[in-house]
Amino acid sequence: MISTSQFNRGMIIKYENDMCEILDFQLVKMQQRQPIVRTKLRNIKNSNVIEIAFRSGDKFEEVYLDNRPIQYLYHEGNTYHFMDTQSYHQVAVPAALLADKVQFLKEEMEVNGRFSDDELIMVELPASVTLIITETEPGIRGDTAKGGTKPAKVETGAAVKVPLFVNTGDRVRIDTRTGDYLERA
């Protein structure tokens, strides 16, 4: 059991018999009242985000997850298939579990799988991925100093904003957490 004073971002707790990831939390002290902890939780199963205020000192069950490397294989419809690289077992997960991470998944990509009792609960992408630009307006010589951006589409189908000097066919690094352009690769 953990207390609200031990909350950390990314921690998984059990709340109302559901596994929830702590996205954000803040301790609020009110005059002549017990402090409260405002939290933003994401339900692991259905990806719903809820905001709840707990009393300071409330106790919750922490869920320990086993981290294992997995490899993304392919998808069919709304089901994504991964392979555990240690046991070579294939795992199929619904698209709802991946949420917006889907837009940066490439076939044969190594990711981190978080398991609870041999059930894949979460998929964590690396902090950045290298992708090829498939569609964008042509860059014009001398556009590096303007600091503007233009829309582009990468090989996975995601739409990102890139600097004006980036052309179709360029390899770029994208931050998977925010979807922002980092640099040319």
Task: Give the pLDDT confidence of 115-127 residue by residue, as tens digits.
Answer: 888 788 888 888 8
Q: Which two tokens stand for residue 31?
A: 């005059």
Tell me, yes or no, if the two domains 2-62 and 128-184 fold the same way.
no
Q: Which residue stretches of the chain have pLDDT < 50? A: none
- The pLDDT value given to residue 140: 67
122 burial level (CB within 10 Å; 0-12, 13-18, 19+) = buried
Give CA–CA dist 80/91, Å, rounded: 8
Give CA–CA dist 120/45, Å, rounded: 10
- The pLDDT value given to residue 141: 65
CATH C-level class of 66-124: mainly beta
Taking CA atoms, 103 is separated from 30, 71, 99, 179, in Å, by: 42, 16, 9, 9
In sequence order, the 6+-apart residues with CB closer than 8 A to the CB of 139 are: 164, 165, 166, 167
Q: What is the pLDDT of residues 150-159, one digit of tens each?
A: 899 998 888 9
**CATH of segment(s) 2-62:** 2.30.30.30
State pTM to two decimals: 0.70
Domain ranges of the chain: 2-62, 66-124, 128-184
- The pLDDT value given to residue 143: 54
- The pLDDT value given to residue 184: 86
Fold annotation for 128-184:
OB fold (Dihydrolipoamide Acetyltransferase, E2P) (2.40.50)
- The pLDDT value given to residue 167: 87
Torsion of CA 175, 176, 179, 182, to 10 degrees: 10
Amino acid sitting at position 124: E
Give CA–CA dist 181/104, Å, rounded: 12
